[in-house]
Chain A
């Protein structure tokens, strides 16, 4: 087993355990910290897939800003009354587990039974034969030329989000529990 394979299996194991931690842990702060761990390992998986710039952006944006926001909001709420973490009802809970398992089984089965992924990729579609800094330049180029509309709309979206979040947060009341 090469070092690459060992790295992949280790990262996959840690990712699945952290994702289980998000879903299973009762204390929401622990759940948020498990999600941070998941995002860090997914950034590492991006790096093994040679998408280094995306790995860095995942660390900066997701693990470094979005999750800090989640953890800060959770710490501001005084959640004393969380006795049980999961929804009530054993039957409906069991049904949900069953359906989730069926979805997972369907997806895994479909993926593993497909034997001819990418036998027929045309040569013209191969644009990613560069790695490292060159891929960042290609990404930047594509964003400004081919995806310029989406890029500008993202800017407008972020502006609307910022204004909306401030407007929502200005209502009266405190964040302490009753």
Chain B
């Protein structure tokens, strides 16, 4: 590893942290049954990506990373709103948000 000391935070530390959070989010999407918890794990993945962008933005001196975070944050908020609206509609129709019931495309 080509950094001075393991204890001082550098770019690599932030990237590893962000990779761990991203993997946890992905595991959540694969393993959980509740539709809304799956949506929340997607938000977790998006947050990990935001952290990567900001870390790169600081350590390379380029502020366009923060602009990307701006856009990602806005779109993630919008997508969360629509996802929740869909989840509410599904719950009203089927009285069930366990994702196993929606494995087939029909009905």
A and B touch in the complex (CB under 8 A): yes
Check A87–B31 contact: CB distance below 8 A.
yes
Closest to B62 in A: A125
Q: How far is the CA of A42 from the CA of B30 in the complex (A)?
A: 23
Assuming A5-B7, A23-B32, A138-B63, is B58 touching A112 (CB within 8 A)?
no
Check B89–A169 contact: CB distance below 8 A.
yes
B95 contacts chain A at the CB level, 8 A cutoff? yes
Check A107–B21 contact: CB distance below 8 A.
no
Check B81–A165 contact: CB distance below 8 A.
yes
**Contact size class for B?**
35 or more
Check B23–A16 contact: CB distance below 8 A.
no
Q: How far is the CA of A99 from the CA of B23 in the complex (A)?
A: 10
Contact of A128 among B9, B15, B62, B86 (CB under 8 A): B62
Mask for A50-62, Cβ within 8 A of B = 1, else 0? Answer: 1100100110011
Mask for B49-86, Cβ within 8 A of A = 1, else 0? Answer: 01100110111111110110111011111101110111
Q: How many A-B residue pairs have CB under 8 A?
A: 244
Contact of A178 among B69, B88, B95 (CB under 8 A): B95
Assuming A22-B41, A150-B71, A154-B74, is B54 touching A46 (CB within 8 A)?
yes
Q: Helix, strand, loop or mixed for chain A's interface? A: helix
Which residues of chain A in 79-119 are interfacial with respect to chain B, using CB atoms and an 8 Å cutoff?
Answer: 79, 82, 84-88, 93, 96-97, 99-101, 103-104, 107-108, 111-112, 115-118
Q: Helix, strand, loop or mixed for chain B's interface? A: helix
Check A51–B54 contact: CB distance below 8 A.
yes
Assuming A35-B40, A62-B77, A97-B27, is B2 touching A115 (CB within 8 A)?
yes
Check B40–A32 contact: CB distance below 8 A.
yes
Check B9–A125 contact: CB distance below 8 A.
no
Check B47–A62 contact: CB distance below 8 A.
yes
Contact of A57 among B20, B30, B73 (CB under 8 A): B73
Check B78–A157 contact: CB distance below 8 A.
yes
Q: How far is the CA of A177 from the CA of B12 in the complex (A)?
A: 47
B1 contacts chain A at the CB level, 8 A cutoff? yes
Assuming A49-B54, A73-B87, is B9 touching A104 (CB within 8 A)?
no
Assuming A32-B40, A97-B27, is B85 touching A169 (CB within 8 A)?
yes
Assuming A1-B7, A142-B67, is B57 touching A173 (CB within 8 A)?
no
Known contacts A104-B19, A171-B93; 6 further A-B pairs (Cβ under 8 A): A5-B8, A16-B24, A22-B37, A73-B84, A104-B20, A121-B62
List 16 contacting pairs A-B, 8 Å CB cutoff, sorted by A: A1-B7, A19-B24, A23-B27, A46-B54, A51-B58, A51-B69, A58-B73, A70-B36, A87-B33, A97-B27, A100-B23, A111-B16, A126-B61, A126-B62, A127-B61, A135-B63
